């Protein structure tokens, strides 16, 4: 029988998730409704915040496994783990997709990058092919070049998340075996996160070299189009480093909860983390402007450092001042419904464009479009969370599993 490990809520992480969701929605809205403004303002840089979701997942999903290892407790129930992961993603996704596809005809029937033009709903409609529908329902469509960026086009990130969920128990089992042999020692335990980071960086470098040898393939096609390069870019292989940063932060956090790493605290920790945040953001901008694939790698470093800044006081049993600030109530509430918001915003954006409810391709028009899309998305997402997500995640209490920190 697996013991229950009661864990306090980590203050400060829900708000950043909500902020990241809002930024992604605004970036997509500007990109479709105001392409001129998007290019002039470089607001597309805020789209990097999708990487924050992966870093945060690496932290939150790995946390129960690491805590169990440190305390010498049995690992989380794999059956419950699988159930939680499926119920976390698929009910909200399936309801959104089925409504957006069959009722609203507001999904992409071909690769969005190949057909998307500013201020148009070109390429959208209903997916009716049985095999294509099966790919959409199971989310394996994002592993097939011809199906990538179809349906609810941002759903590629859910496919990447699911691949991480499948792999994580094996990683945790290997790490637990190491802990049993050598005890909880943070440096050796960093091997698994380091492997994830290495895989992500090597994949990006190889894709960069491949694209250099194939100049006929445009950047949009190589990054998001119907190509194998885009599939690998969006896959767990191409995003592995981001999960690795979150896993590394988990090991540090759990070690701190037991009084470990005593010098990694206070001003010294803050100085290092803030330095990594600033340098990571600066390197991200450089990579984006020069079209170098390591942009998300550097942004992931900044995200990992920011998460460590937020959670360190909780690990030390201190007042989480920064956490209270980042969990500002409006952002925290959006963070709670962020999955539904992430799923619904593009169908809403397609409909607002189709019905000509968007503003002009000006600064004022872009702001108007963003306000409309955000307002509709948040209302629909709140309803989806209340009647789909929340009931799906509600289960009878059990004393045989670790609670899910997400």
Per-position DSSP letters for 123-180, written without gaps between them: TEE----HHHHHHHHHTGGGGSGGGTT-BSGGGHHHHHHHHHHHHHHHHHHHHHHHHH
Q: How far is CA 291 from CA 220, 221, 267, in A?
A: 11, 13, 35
Q: Identify which has the larger pLDDT, 73 or 40.
A: 73
Q: How far is CA 352 from CA 3, 120, 292, 314, in A?
A: 50, 10, 33, 43
User: Tell me, what's the pLDDT at 190?
Assistant: 95
Residues in the chain: 406
- Mapped onto helix, strand or coil, the DSSP state of residue 105 is coil
For residue 213, is pLDDT > 60? Answer: yes
79 burial (CB, 10 Å; 0-12 / 13-18 / 19+) is exposed
Mean pLDDT of 170-177: 95
CA-to-CA distance for 135 and 153, rounded, in angstroms?
A: 13
Q: How far is CA 73 from CA 4, 67, 85, 219, 351, in A?
A: 9, 8, 21, 48, 50
**What is the per-residue pLDDT across 293-339, written as a single tens digit (0 to 9) for each?**
999 999 999 999 999 999 999 998 888 899 999 999 999 999 999 99
User: Tell me, what's the pLDDT at 279?
Assistant: 98
User: Tell me, what's the pLDDT at 263?
Assistant: 84
Q: How far is CA 60 from CA 248, 253, 307, 340, 400, in A?
A: 11, 11, 11, 19, 20
User: Tell me, what's the pLDDT at 334?
Assistant: 97
User: Tell me, what's the pLDDT at 398?
Assistant: 38
**What is the per-residue pLDDT across 14-31, written as a single tens digit (0 to 9) for each?**
999 999 999 999 999 999
Range with lowest mean pLDDT among 71-75, 101-105, 335-339: 71-75
For residue 57, is pLDDT > 80? Answer: yes
pTM over 0.75: yes
Q: Name, in order, each residue with C-beta under 8 angstroms of 263's C-beta and a sequence gap of 6 or more.
A: none
Task: Tell me the three-class secondary structure of 346-393, residue by residue.
Answer: HHHHHHHHHCCCCCCCCHHHHHHHHHHHHHHHHHHHHHHHHHHHHHHH
User: Tell me, what's the pLDDT at 117?
Assistant: 82
Binned at pLDDT 50, 70 and 90, residue 116 comes out as confident
**What is the per-residue pLDDT across 229-266, written as a single tens digit (0 to 9) for each?**
999 999 999 999 999 999 999 999 999 998 888 888 87
Q: Residue 35 in contact with residue 360, Cβ under 8 Å? A: no
DSSP code string of 170-192: HHHHHHHHHHHHH-S-HHHHTHH
User: Tell me, what's the pLDDT at 265?
Assistant: 80
Q: How far is CA 52 from CA 33, 120, 244, in A?
A: 25, 29, 12
For residue 128, is pLDDT > 80? Answer: yes
Place of tokens 């309803």: 383
Give φ, ψ of 220 to 5 degrees. -60, -40
Q: Residue 255 in contact with residue 184, Cβ under 8 Å? A: yes
Beta bridge partners of 330: none
CA-to-CA distance for 22 and 396, rounded, in angstroms?
A: 32
For residue 83, is pLDDT > 70? Answer: yes
Q: Name, in order, each residue with C-beta under 8 angstroms of 362's C-beta and a sequence gap of 6 or more.
A: 34, 36, 37
User: Tell me, what's the pLDDT at 41?
Assistant: 84
User: Tell me, what's the pLDDT at 402?
Assistant: 31
For residue 9, is pLDDT > 80? Answer: no
Beta bridge partners of 151: 108
Mean pLDDT of 69-74: 89
User: Tell me, what's the pLDDT at 39?
Assistant: 82
CA-to-CA distance for 239 and 228, rounded, in angstroms?
A: 15
User: Tell me, what's the pLDDT at 273?
Assistant: 96
Q: How far is CA 165 from CA 236, 256, 338, in A?
A: 10, 25, 19
User: Tell me, what's the pLDDT at 2?
Assistant: 35
**Would you give the DSSP letter of residue 119?**
T
Mean pLDDT of 199-204: 98
- The rounded mean pLDDT for the chain is 92
Tokens of 328: 């500002």
**What is the per-residue pLDDT across 346-358, written as a single tens digit (0 to 9) for each?**
999 999 999 999 9
Binned at pLDDT 50, 70 and 90, residue 399 comes out as very low
**What is the per-residue pLDDT across 152-172, written as a single tens digit (0 to 9) for each?**
999 999 999 999 999 999 999
Tokens of 372: 């409309």
Binned at pLDDT 50, 70 and 90, residue 404 comes out as very low
User: Tell me, what's the pLDDT at 6?
Assistant: 43
Binned at pLDDT 50, 70 and 90, residue 395 comes out as low
User: Tell me, what's the pLDDT at 8?
Assistant: 53
């Amino acid at each position: 029988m697996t013991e229950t490990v009661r864990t306090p809520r980590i203050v400060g992480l829900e708000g950043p998730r909500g902020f990241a969701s809002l930024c992604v929605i605004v970036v997509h809205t500007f990109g479709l409704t105001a392409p001129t403004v998007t290019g002039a303002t470089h607001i597309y840089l805020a789209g990097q915040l999708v990487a924050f979701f992966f870093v945060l997942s690496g932290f939150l999903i790995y946390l129960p496994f690491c805590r169990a290892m440190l305390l010498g407790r049995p690992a989380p129930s794999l059956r419950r783990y699988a159930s939680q992961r499926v119920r976390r993603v698929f009910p909200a996704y399936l309801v959104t997709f089925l409504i957006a596809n069959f009722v609203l005809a507001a999904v992409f029937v071909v690769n969005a990058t190949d057909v998307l033009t500013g201020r148009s709903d070109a390429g959208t409609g209903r997916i009716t092919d049985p095999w294509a529908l099966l790919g959409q329902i199971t989310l394996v469509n994002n592993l097939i070049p011809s199906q990538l960026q179809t349906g609810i086009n941002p759903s590629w990130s859910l496919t990447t998340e699911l691949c991480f969920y499948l792999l994580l128990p094996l990683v945790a089992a290997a790490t637990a075996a190491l802990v049993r042999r050598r005890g909880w020692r943070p440096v050796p335990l960093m091997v698994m996160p380091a492997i994830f980071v290495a895989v992500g960086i090597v994949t990006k470098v190889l894709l960069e070299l491949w694209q250099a040898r194939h100049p006929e393939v445009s950047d949009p096609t190589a990054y998001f189009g119907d190509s194998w390069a885009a599939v690998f870019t969006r896959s767990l292989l191409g995003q592995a480093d981001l999960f690795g940063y979150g896993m590394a932060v988990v090991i540090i956090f759990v070690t701190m909860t037991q009084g470990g790493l005593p010098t990694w605290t206070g001003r010294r920790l803050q100085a290092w983390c803030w330095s990594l945040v600033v340098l990571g953001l600066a390197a991200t901008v450089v990579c984006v402007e020069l079209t170098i694939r390591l942009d998300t790698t550097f942004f992931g470093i900044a995200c990992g450092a920011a998460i460590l800044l937020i959670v360190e006081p909780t690990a030390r049993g201190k007042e989480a001042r920064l956490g209270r600030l980042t969990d500002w109530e409006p952002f925290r509430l959006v963070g709670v419904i962020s999955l539904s918001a992430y799923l619904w915003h593009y169908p809403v954006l397609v409909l607002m464009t189709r019905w000509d409810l968007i503003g002009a391709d000006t600064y004022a028009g872009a702001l108007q479009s963003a306000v409309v899309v955000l307002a509709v998305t948040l209302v629909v997402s709140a309803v989806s969370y209340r009647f789909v997500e929340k009931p799906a995640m509600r289960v009878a209490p059990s004393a045989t599993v670790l609670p899910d920190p997400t």
